[in-house]
Structure 1
């Protein structure tokens, strides 16, 4: 047994290991856990062992995010980012300030707006024209399913009242048929195809910035839910991942979910996916561990309910003939999933509406269900029919859910719930129902759709109300009126969903996600114990230190570049 490089003691240690839930010390050497408990840790202490006193603070496994978009999020940090504010005037003031400070930009690019701040729930080109009319401007919504552009951008793209809706998208128009400046789904590409080219170097910098941000939140592993050329992506994001893996730039545990492109022929696409997986495997083999694995294929099946593109079994309230959009027919989806699984990939399907969920479960359970050991997962499940949840549980499909969404914020109350019938609302973000059905929950953020802060996600999962400091949940209802009381889960369950279960969804549970001898030394030190604080104060807990494979990658008060 080697001597320990470092021993943590003097505080509460939650392991997320059911056979040994808490301990009082943990010893690490060469980035791995070598002992637990004071007696065993004392036995591996050497003359050079550093002893870190927790001083009553709490140590837990580091977090994993099972569904995130770090390239888009990292790029948003560079452009006109609206993510940390909420309000009509606040948006326009932030944009106007950015425009003044960037007179050289040919296009003004930004992201992060929420529809509830606009009259009627959606922005108009005239709003954007009021602060920028001399050049085109493009702003993605926080969920990346809507794009708000000004008049100059519409003109540059040649979009007018005669322009047809593209396949899989919608150009929103006013009562007279004129485009309003709001483009849904693939319609956004009509404008985005004109934007200045994003380079691989830009993507690498975005990933490095995202990793540093994740470390500050206690996240040491993530699944990028769509790597390749996808809707909203400025460039093929696989080569930058490969380059960074080759250079050892990730001190995190990263899972790449390769994007299934509906416009590329099936056979050709399967071969590309296999080739990309195999190249990364060779890199990992050559380096010992490259920080990246390619094990998943991501399939986008429907849109979101807020813009009527989430696929529902029953029509939207007030829109009797609108059931949403499906990107694939049932037969197409079945063929894709059969082929992808046959070639050894896990499958990650975006399914927001209950009709999309049904088709996803149908596809993943055909031919006697998933192959043994597969980590097939369905993401979002905004509206989930209990019958489909039962089928998920029996086939061991993972519910990859975003806990921060399960609260009555103004976006939900004003722009989404009015579109849903009462029975649909009753099946909305039903985490306790999923758990009781036997479905395993893995938590992800979908950042930049919403904050990647796991502490905030745990707060919402337990309280079903918004964290006190979240700028998008500051109203009285969001803070105090829980969404579907009875659908909350426990602190223990929420913590497990953001650690072990998320690591499992990312195929890293054998090396991370819990504190056990032999696993990677991936820890977070918190200023308070989530099991001791008052539940309504969970969102106020702060990350003090993040340790990834034994390396301190973040301490509150400082942050360093994650690249080596």
Structure 2
């Protein structure tokens, strides 16, 4: 077969797990599939009239990077208004919000608020009342699971006291039953969110297109999207009507507490739907919230007496939902951050052997997302469970500190904080470890995340002490988390995740070799280009 494309590079890491007898420096592609792998001399023999040759020179080529946990559509709502993620003090928060209030429309919006910026000051609506310029305000915290509303927003939404929800959500109130403005988890936030005017579809499509282009330019050729809705489908369809998506998207709609088997059946019917480069392939569930806002599910209370309740008030209903989907060969991905939450998910998945046919269970991948603090016995249970771990190293490096003075560590106490994001221990047990960003909870560029996974501190900040340094990944493990292990985490190892004849021609080209570059240098180096289906999604001008 005449290749459509030949890609040349001085270094090509195939990540197929097989030893190479000589350096691989050439890949041939036909019809979006890898058809040959070899040397530059081999490439001379493959080349035919009409074959396009892209010579990347001294660059390094790897399988295409895939972010195993992201929220591009859901993130459109979470990133409206002023970005507060860089605000380290309450004064900075107030300054940014005051400036935003002078420019915003009818509502003051902000996102990425780190509770550490408040120090000992309680998260309270009065902080927003002082800076909102007479407008209703809703500010999302960095974890995506909580928000603060000002007094006017609560008044407009008719939120005047406590609420009962089907899920573990809360309108936080003071001792007199008056809302403080702090809203925990989706159902509570939605009480205010639904009163905010909706962004026009055309504008949302434009923002999503820009975001996906930025994803591609960061080196991503794919993403596991941990949410999906009718709007998501319409947005993806609209973008595909304008042209190809610049990366593959694999979506998972949410299954929430309070739903029944009839609801699960509707979700199951969405599996396999999609377009040319996007599809619905899994179901996302939650068993807890986050450590920072006291809604994680822990064996023992956190230091404030919180974090002991599951997100599903009746956890057995969560387990029933997992069994429903697993029996139909539908992959699941469950958000579980605390030790008790992870334990319950493992138990639910371990129990499938008695109720799901062995062949169905063998070909269906089930995952746990986040896994922020777990004891040794839970790490050990991963090995025999067959469950995939999906983790985000930059959550550790961006939101916790080695001295445990941050909100996450303070809530957990020293023992549990020392069990932070046990990436290396999970890998050493032989478990598949997919890596990602959870954007917009943390920045999406994969190179800094791969660097952070090795450093256990923020790349570019050598003054910081590493957090649980024994959990550092090797350079190869970090790269595998975005390539071979990302493919395995999606049940796609047969068709992707390595540069192998017969697999998809999805590649990422690096300025520096991610296996030999110093992590801090890798983090600031350039991605030179990406290929999806053997088609260039972007290429730096100097290589075009």
TM-score where L is the length of structure 2 = 0.90
CA distances 1:26-79 after superposition (whole Å, capped 9, x unpaired): 222333322222233221112333333323122222211111111132445554
**Contact 2:102 / 2:133 at 8 angstroms: preserved in 1?**
no
Question: 2:83: which partner in 1?
Answer: 81
Counterpart secondary structure, 1:223: strand
- After alignment, is 295-304 or 409-418 more displaced? 409-418
2:65 to 45, 63, 66: 63
**Contact 2:373 / 2:421 at 8 angstroms: preserved in 1?**
yes
Distance apart, 1:122 and its partner CA: 5.3
Counterpart secondary structure, 1:407: helix
- Summarize the Cα distance change of 1:440–1:132 in structure 2 as closer, same or farther, 3 Å threshold: same
Q: Are 1:390 and 2:375 matched, yes or no?
A: no
Give, in whole Å, the separation in 2 of the partners of 1:84 and 1:119. Answer: 15
Considering only aligned residues, what root-mean-square deviation do their CA atoms show, in Å? 2.6
Give, in whole Å, the separation in 1 of the partners of 2:379 and 2:310. Answer: 22
Distance apart, 1:154 and its partner CA: 1.6
Count, aligned residues: 530
2:458 to 462, 466, 479: 466
Give, in whole Å, the separation in 2 of the partners of 1:366 and 1:341. Answer: 11
1:47-446 matches, cutoff 5 A: 47-76=49-78, 79-83=81-85, 86-102=88-104, 105-120=105-120, 123-160=123-160, 162-164=161-163, 166-167=165-166, 168-174=168-174, 178-185=178-185, 186-198=187-199, 201=202, 203-228=204-229, 236-241=231-236, 249-264=244-259, 266-277=260-271, 279-280=273-274, 290-319=276-305, 322-368=307-353, 371-407=361-397, 409=399, 413-446=405-438
Give, in whole Å, the separation in 2 of the partners of 1:6 and 1:361. Answer: 45
**Contact 1:401 / 1:444 at 8 angstroms: preserved in 2?**
yes
Question: 1:27: which partner in 2?
Answer: 28
**Contact 2:76 / 2:208 at 8 angstroms: preserved in 1?**
yes
1:469-548 matches, cutoff 5 A: 479-548=463-532
Distance apart, 1:533 and its partner CA: 2.0
Distance apart, 1:221 and its partner CA: 0.9
- Summarize the Cα distance change of 1:63–1:419 in structure 2 as closer, same or farther, 3 Å threshold: same
Question: 1:6: which partner in 2?
Answer: 5
CA distances 1:284-319 after superposition (whole Å, capped 9, x unpaired): 5xxxxx212222111111000111110001221242
**Contact 2:12 / 2:61 at 8 angstroms: preserved in 1?**
yes
CA distances 1:122-143 after superposition (whole Å, capped 9, x unpaired): 5432332232132111121122
Distance apart, 1:408 and its partner CA: 7.0
**Contact 1:74 / 1:210 at 8 angstroms: preserved in 2?**
no
CA distances 1:429-469 after superposition (whole Å, capped 9, x unpaired): 1111111222210112111111111111111111101111x
TM-score where L is the length of structure 1 = 0.87
Q: Please list every run of 5 or more consecutive structure 2 residues that lacks an aligned counterpart in the other structure.
A: none
Question: 1:471: which partner in 2?
Answer: none
CA distances 1:312-366 after superposition (whole Å, capped 9, x unpaired): 01221242x6524432423212211111112221011110001010110111111
Q: Please list every run of 5 or more consecutive structure 1 residues that lacks an aligned counterpart in the other structure.
A: 229-234, 285-289, 469-473, 559-564
- Summarize the Cα distance change of 1:77–1:312 in structure 2 as closer, same or farther, 3 Å threshold: closer
- Summarize the Cα distance change of 1:426–1:80 in structure 2 as closer, same or farther, 3 Å threshold: closer
**Contact 2:9 / 2:61 at 8 angstroms: preserved in 1?**
no
